[in-house]
Amino acid sequence: MQEIQFYLVDAFSDKNFGGNAAAVCPLSEWLADDVLLKMAQQHNQSETAFFVRTDEGYELRWFTTLAEINLCGHATLAAAHVIFEYLDHPSATILFSTRFVGELRVTRNGDWLTLDFPAWSTSPVQNPPADLLTGLGLEAAVEVREGRDYLVVLADRQQVEAVRPDMARLRTLGKMICVSAPDEEYDFVSRFFCPGEGGAGRSGHRLRP
């Protein structure tokens, strides 16, 4: 029986069982896709990150319990933590090569890790699909924008917290949905819905300079 070491990392937290957990599996070479998916299902986290070392850096992939996905922020952070802390990475920067979004860079400065991710542009939607607002249990939104995913802006944090998604209806849209609002207490207020994918994080949760 093949033995593969894995790590369970609580990203965005310095406490056990805090933050956003991800499983991380360093591999010596890539395994078949169905094997990676079964491993992710056995770990039963929202995402599992797999990576293989190369001459230039690391190849990185992410799986939910349902499928491979094209990008995951907290699992990338978790993978970088494992490489920096346990695999004797020689420099302060890690270069990840990915299948769907090109190169990702993670830089360490003391105890802080900075992720440099691609940005997708969005444009305003004047007439949102009926299933979008209905699927979120909303009658209206301050703004709706569309790019790779949908961004639905509400008036305040309380409205974001009150959203009760109909995942079956949202699945018909074929996109993921980020619901956000301004807030005086927090820098970010958002919820992210991934019908049919199972993920919790993603590129909807990033700070743009």
pLDDT tens track for 104-147: 999 999 999 999 988 888 999 999 999 999 999 999 999 999 99
Q: What pLDDT shows up at residue 209?
A: 37
Q: What pLDDT shows up at residue 197?
A: 65
The class of domain 7-116 in CATH terms is: alpha beta
Q: What pLDDT shows up at residue 140?
A: 94
Tell me which residues are annotated as active site: 47
User: Per CATH, is 123-193 categorized as 3.10.310.10?
Assistant: yes
Q: What pLDDT shows up at residue 104?
A: 97
> With 0-12 CB in 10 A as exposed, 13-18 as middle and 19+ as buried, what is 82?
buried
Question: Does residue 159 register a pLDDT over 80?
Answer: yes
Q: Rounded distance, CA 173 to CA 169, Å?
A: 8
Q: What pLDDT shows up at residue 208?
A: 42
pLDDT band, very low/low/confident/very high, at 1 (cuts 50, 70, 90): low
CA 75 and chain centroid, separation: 7
pLDDT band, very low/low/confident/very high, at 16 (cuts 50, 70, 90): confident
Average pLDDT rounded to a whole number, residues 161-185: 95
- Residue spans in the chain of domains classed CATH 3.10.310.10: 7-116, 123-193
Question: Does residue 199 register a pLDDT over 60?
Answer: no
pLDDT band, very low/low/confident/very high, at 187 (cuts 50, 70, 90): confident
Average pLDDT rounded to a whole number, residues 172-189: 93
Nearest to 93 by CA among 79, 78, 109: 109
Average pLDDT rounded to a whole number, residues 67-85: 95
Question: Does residue 51 register a pLDDT over 60?
Answer: yes
Average pLDDT rounded to a whole number, residues 164-186: 94
pLDDT band, very low/low/confident/very high, at 2 (cuts 50, 70, 90): confident
Comparing 2-6, 71-75, 96-100, which segment has the lowest mean pLDDT? 2-6
Nearest to 97 by CA among 88, 89, 87, 106: 106
The predicted model scores a pTM of 0.78
Within 10 angstroms of residue 46's Cβ, the number of other Cβ atoms is 22
Cβ(25)–Cβ(48) under 8 Å? yes
